[in-house]
Amino acid sequence: MPKDSTRRDFLRVAGGATASLAHGATLPLIALDGAAQAAPPAAAPGELMAGWFDRPMRWVQLTLVENDPGRFDPQFWLDYFKRLHADAATLSAGGIVAYYPTEVPLHHRSAWLGSSDPFGTMVKGCRDLGMHVVARTDPHAVRDEVRQAHPDWIAVNRDGQPVRHWANPELWVTCALGPYNFEFMDQVHREIVARYRIDGVFANRWAPQGGDCFCVHCQQNFKAATGLALPRTTNPRDEARRQYLEWRTERLIELWKRWDATVQAANAAARFIPNGPPSMKSAGELAAIQFTDNQARRGLTPPWNNGRRAKELRSVMGRRPIGGIFSVGVEEPYRWKDSVQSEPEIRLWVAEGTANGMRPWVTKFSGVLYDRRWLPAVERIYDWHYKHERYLRNEAPLARIGLLYSEQTSRYHPGVVNGDRADDHVLGMYHALIEARLPFELVHEGYLTSERLSQFKVLILADTAALSDAQCAALKAYVEGGGSLVATFASSLYDEWGQQRKDFGLADVFGVSFNGRIDGPMQNSYLSIDPDPKTKTHHAVLQGLEDATRIINGVFRVDVRPTREFPSPLTLIPTYPDLPMEDVYPRVPHTDTRELYLRDLGRGRVAYVPWDIDRTFWEVMSPDHGRLLRNVITWAMNERPIVEVDGRGVIDVTVWRQRDSMTVHLVNLTNPMMMKGPLRETIPIGPLTVRVRVPNGLAVRKAHLLTAGTTLQPQQAAGTMTLTVPTVDVHEVVAIDLEPARR
Ligand SMILES: [Zn+2]
């Protein structure tokens, strides 16, 4: 057990207190003997689970390679962990290679192991540093001797052939859903936890790898569960395919529970931690702690993608600890695993995770280093994190905007037509929110409870096409309760399995009905910016666009008819020839077909955009579309944002509550390499003017900048604090110490 197993430890248990936390309530404190706890009590999704999980703030992972034993220097790594102020380590233990003297038959000991026990050495060293230790296993491949002894443990492709490993043909890919994992790896996990009494097991690549498996066990088990043969189609709208996807998820959840029970039987305080839950919903239900394995960006990836993964995970984990695994290398498909990335790139990637509530977890392959340039870079990041830990122990985000996160839409809705992809709508909306500097959260479709939704003033459905009747009802109740809704394109036009409805599930909330037609891809179509015919003024959503008589349209549109009266700020200019140039003139210069439906509904507001504004924004990045999205969202929100930031640059703004403080994170994304890394250098921005609404009943005791290390002299008026941040290099945090307001 860790250093403090005898210490009477105070664990915080958040009793569904997210809402009250936003107003400054202190969490109840209960005393538990951490080590003496038997099976920890269950917790509702999002609440902390009793145990050690919330203690570590900084994680490290060392993944050994087979010839490391005898070649790598454990003391070097332990000294480095100490300099990082790391609280927890994930260390290679077993699976493909065992780094300890295993007794499990067919569990391959490293050929370089001899009589050594590098895993045990590292476990002891970490414990001496007071760290928690989690064992890393990787079950996805085996040697030929295993295949010979148990041919049925190997994955089988659709041609009935056993699957060789794609990167190392000497190895075979295992079936993740059969006895190799359920029996053999179960034994391995039992041995590791029983022998070393570690805090958990983290399995890498534990779900099916490299395509569907057609082995005898998968055939039999799927048949027993569904009565069906394994489907050969990958079309998610195929009934058998859908059942297969659901069965595979259930099977992995079963495996998670099996390994978790085994691990807990060997050490009640320990847990099985999957690298990648079978579904986000299952993480919300089962995980005490969880990590995103999003190690760096590749290709055309914006840096905010790391923050996005954090938001996705938090949408089911709530207050439970989450970590962001980052590598220090180049993460392109060519997998230069021994490479080192530029320091500005690493800093920005980790800052995005930290600003979005993830704890850093640096991962390094190979105990022997070929390029040591990353060592001081990561040390600087961790040192900053350690120094400011108090302001990084977040209790609740204070964002008032929620963007719906729909796994079922990603899984079962490939898009309305070729060229449309639901995820592109989400990416476009995400980028628009970042550019608008509006703090927001992701809201998982599985947790649309009134308690969860009540923290948000506006919910955004970025083409959330697949929604069940119950989910539509929850959204309707949210609007009836005073919440606002912004929805785009095919939102609610499909059920949770991706089957198209006759009309939107939210037709009565939108105030429009589906006309049965989806147009596009449209060439050369526009939107007319129309003043109100009576007042001759433009609607608030057109702010900044008044002098444009028209802006470009999107590429796809859902044809709808209004079922009530609407204002008409934005109307369709239909597509007209874009060649030959002589023919390029509008055939219909103006229509009364609205392309934006705005309504007040009780205390809430609803905006429905029937075209793919978010998807086109992602593809084309028109600043007009970005502005329009920002205007529509702020109109729907109908209250001042909790934080407003003025000044130049692209900034991810997040805002958090801690126990006695609140923080505003400013991550500077402004860089010519913003959309295509890696960064060459950081380019500071500033000064920025930041206005913060102070939560009701609280007053500012002190405000300071964590990175600059300076105290601020904020101006305060009417519950708003205004301050100047002179410069932001990569990441600055405005930390505001709070106290009860004097009456
Ligand atoms: Zn199989």
Query: What is the predicted pLDDT for the residue at 490?
Result: 98
Ligand 1 centre from 252 Cα, in Å? 12
Reported as a single tens digit per residue, the pLDDT across 218-252 is 999 999 999 999 999 999 889 999 999 999 999 99
Ligand 1 centre from 536 Cα, in Å? 67
**Least confident range of 211-215, 606-610, 696-700:** 696-700
Q: Tell me the pLDDT band of 27, cut-offs 50, 70 and 90.
A: very low
Q: Determine contact, residues 526/575, Cβ cutoff 8 Å.
A: no
Ligand 1 centre from 189 Cα, in Å? 20
Ligand 1 centre from 215 Cα, in Å? 4
Q: Tell me the pLDDT band of 743, cut-offs 50, 70 and 90.
A: low
Ligand 1 centre from 172 Cα, in Å? 13
Ligand 1 centre from 464 Cα, in Å? 33
Q: Tell me the pLDDT band of 45, cut-offs 50, 70 and 90.
A: confident
Q: Determine contact, residues 392/735, Cβ cutoff 8 Å.
A: no
Ligand 1 centre from 214 Cα, in Å? 6
pLDDT higher than 60, residue 28: no
The type of residue at 681 is E
pLDDT higher than 80, residue 343: yes
Per-residue pLDDT averaged across 464-490, rounded? 98
Ligand 1 centre from 95 Cα, in Å? 18
Average pLDDT, the chain: 93
Ligand 1 centre from 174 Cα, in Å? 8
Nearest to 694 by CA among 731, 723, 732, 666: 723
Tokens 């060229």 belong to: 419
Q: Tell me the pLDDT band of 14, cut-offs 50, 70 and 90.
A: very low
Ligand 1 centre from 584 Cα, in Å? 58
pLDDT higher than 90, residue 1: no
pLDDT higher than 80, residue 299: yes
Looking at the chain, the whole-number percentage of residues with pLDDT higher than 70 is: 94
Reported as a single tens digit per residue, the pLDDT across 593-623 is 999 999 999 899 999 999 999 999 999 999 9
Ligand 1 centre from 292 Cα, in Å? 26
Ligand 1 centre from 185 Cα, in Å? 15
**Least confident range of 60-64, 76-80, 207-211:** 207-211
Other beta carbons within 10 angstroms of residue 128's beta carbon come to: 11
Ligand 1 centre from 333 Cα, in Å? 26
Ligand 1 centre from 208 Cα, in Å? 8
Per-residue pLDDT averaged across 412-430, rounded? 94
Ligand 1 centre from 689 Cα, in Å? 57
Ligand 1 centre from 243 Cα, in Å? 16
Tokens 């027993």 belong to: 224
Ligand 1 centre from 217 Cα, in Å? 5
Strands 643-646 and 688-693: antiparallel
Instruction: Round to whole Å and give the CA distance between 138 and 96.
Output: 6
Per-residue pLDDT averaged across 422-431, rounded? 97
Looking at the chain, the whole-number percentage of residues with pLDDT higher than 90 is: 90
Ligand 1 centre from 61 Cα, in Å? 30
Query: What is the predicted pLDDT for the residue at 42?
Result: 62
Strands 661-668 and 604-609: unpaired
Ligand 1 centre from 153 Cα, in Å? 8
Ligand 1 centre from 156 Cα, in Å? 7
Q: Determine contact, residues 704/732, Cβ cutoff 8 Å.
A: no
DSSP at 415: -
Using the CB atoms, write b or e for 37-72: b if 16+ within 10 Å: beebeebebbbbbbbbbbbbbbbbbbbbbeebbeeb
Ligand 1 centre from 152 Cα, in Å? 8
Q: Show the tokens assigned to 569.
A: 């700020």
pLDDT higher than 60, residue 193: yes
Ligand 1 centre from 141 Cα, in Å? 13
Which stretches does DSSP call E strand in 431-507?
A: 440-444, 458-461, 484-488
Ligand 1 centre from 221 Cα, in Å? 9
The type of residue at 182 is F
Alpha-carbon distances of 292 from 81, 277, 310, rounded to whole Å: 21, 10, 7
Reported as a single tens digit per residue, the pLDDT across 478-492 is 999 999 999 999 999
Q: Tell me the pLDDT band of 25, cut-offs 50, 70 and 90.
A: very low
Q: What residue spans of 279-389 are helical by DSSP H?
A: 280-286, 304-317, 343-355, 374-387
Ligand 1 centre from 211 Cα, in Å? 10
Comparing 719 with 629, which gets the higher pLDDT?
Answer: 629
The type of residue at 387 is K
Reported as a single tens digit per residue, the pLDDT across 264-291 is 999 999 999 999 999 999 999 999 999 9
Ligand 1 centre from 407 Cα, in Å? 24
pLDDT higher than 70, residue 178: yes
Q: Tell me the pLDDT band of 44, cut-offs 50, 70 and 90.
A: confident
Ligand 1 centre from 213 Cα, in Å? 5
Instruction: Round to whole Å and give the CA distance between 500 and 560.
Output: 15
Q: Tell me the pLDDT band of 717, cut-offs 50, 70 and 90.
A: confident
CA 295 to chain centre: 13
Q: Examine residue 678 and say whether the peptide bond preceding it is cis (omega within 30 degrees of 0).
A: yes
**Least confident range of 352-356, 423-427, 667-671, 698-702:** 698-702
Ligand 1 centre from 107 Cα, in Å? 20
The type of residue at 129 is L
Ligand 1 centre from 177 Cα, in Å? 6
Ligand 1 centre from 176 Cα, in Å? 7
Ligand 1 centre from 250 Cα, in Å? 14
Tokens 């500005």 belong to: 344
Would you state the torsion angle of the CA atoms of residues 156, 162, 166, 168, taken in this order, to the nearest 10 degrees? 140
Phi/psi for 625 (5° steps) reads -65, -40
Instruction: Round to whole Å and give the CA distance between 206 and 220.
Output: 21
Instruction: Round to whole Å and give the CA distance between 560 and 608.
Output: 11
Ligand 1 centre from 629 Cα, in Å? 46
Q: Determine contact, residues 498/471, Cβ cutoff 8 Å.
A: no
Phi/psi for 114 (5° steps) reads 55, -130
Instruction: Round to whole Å and give the CA distance between 397 and 374.
Output: 31
Ligand 1 centre from 267 Cα, in Å? 30
Query: What is the predicted pLDDT for the residue at 718?
Result: 83
Ligand 1 centre from 415 Cα, in Å? 30
Ligand 1 centre from 204 Cα, in Å? 18
- For residue 125, the surrounding DSSP H or E stretch is helix 118-128
Ligand 1 centre from 188 Cα, in Å? 20
- For residue 259, the surrounding DSSP H or E stretch is helix 239-266
Instruction: Round to whole Å and give the CA distance between 630 and 543.
Output: 10
Reported as a single tens digit per residue, the pLDDT across 123-154 is 999 999 999 999 999 999 999 999 999 999 99
Ligand 1 centre from 226 Cα, in Å? 16
Ligand 1 centre from 155 Cα, in Å? 5
Strands 200-203 and 715-717: unpaired
pLDDT higher than 80, residue 9: no
Ligand 1 centre from 183 Cα, in Å? 14
Q: Determine contact, residues 323/22, Cβ cutoff 8 Å.
A: no
Ligand 1 centre from 423 Cα, in Å? 29
- Number of residues that make up the chain: 743
Nearest to 221 by CA among 274, 176, 259, 272: 176
pLDDT higher than 80, residue 21: no
Per-residue pLDDT averaged across 519-545, rounded? 97
